[in-house]
Amino acid sequence: MPHAAQTLPEVTADAIGMLGERGYDATSVDDLAGALGISRSTFFRRFGSKEDIVFADHTYLLDRLDTQLEVAGSDPLSAVAAGAVAVLTYHVGRREASLLRNSLLHSNPVLRDRELVTSHRYERAFVSYLRAALPLPPEREWAATALAASVVAVHNRVLRAWLRDESLAAADALRTQLRELTEVFRPMLAPTGVGADGRTNAAPSSARALIAVFDRDMHPEDLFQHLRETLE
């Protein structure tokens, strides 16, 4: 196999395949390096650790997400939603690797903790973009953080649902749910900007802060309803 020509997603899929077949604890760094056709030192230099390689393709995804956001259109909220859909589409296109990684996460607490760290990287990417794209006053920056966390949470829920049921039209489901979510946040984030329909929004009479704590398995419709009731 021409290992040098492999892309990062392909390398990650191969590594996850071996870890899933042999077991995470039973697979050594030497095993992974040998399967990838590289030395132990090269493995550590490129991937850092056995734990890191399970999530190595997220570096690729985050770079691609940053590029997508940089060339996004005039509606930042829709751009964030489209970015999340693109990430989901990547996972949907690699079902076997996605299933194996999910199995590894369920069987290894360390990997589950690492997944949370990885999710925060997506949140930070969205927050950074929103703060740069929108003229947010300091008292309303909370809304960018809240939207970013909500987008990642809804993405992860749809991904888990698709892992359980391959027949789910995951991208369409996520696109619909994020459209509703971004419209909930639009009055706080783009009160005088352009809406998703291209029309100019009127500024609200006052801004309010909202701190939301919700269960990770809460259905998006229930989350949206709670947000609407609180903000009305």
- 87-122 pLDDT, tens per residue? 999 999 999 999 999 999 999 999 999 999 999 999
8 A C-beta contact, residue 155 and residue 87: yes
> What CA–CA distance (Å, rounded) separates 115 from 100?
14
Domain 3-53: what homologous superfamily? Homeodomain-like (1.10.10.60)
What pLDDT score does 198 carry? 44
* pLDDT digits 0-9 by tens, 124-176: 999 999 999 998 999 899 999 999 999 999 999 999 999 999 999 999 999 99
Q: Buried b vs exposed e over 53-68: b needs ≥16 C-beta within 10 Å? A: bbbbbbeebbeebeee
**Confidence category of residue 8, pLDDT binned at 50, 70, 90:** confident
User: pLDDT higher for 38 or 163?
Assistant: 163
Where exactly are the structural domains of the chain? Answer: 3-53, 55-188+207-231
CATH architecture of 55-188+207-231: Orthogonal Bundle (1.10)
Check for a shared fold between 3-53 and 55-188+207-231. no
* pLDDT digits 0-9 by tens, 180-215: 999 999 999 976 554 554 444 544 444 455 566 666
What pLDDT score does 220 carry? 66
What one-character DSSP code corresponds to residue 194?
A: B
* pLDDT digits 0-9 by tens, 47-96: 888 999 999 899 999 999 999 999 998 899 999 999 999 999 999 999 99
* Torsion, CA 20, CA 22, CA 23, CA 27, rounded to 10: -110
The closest of 33, 166, 182, 17 to 103, measured between CA atoms, is: 17
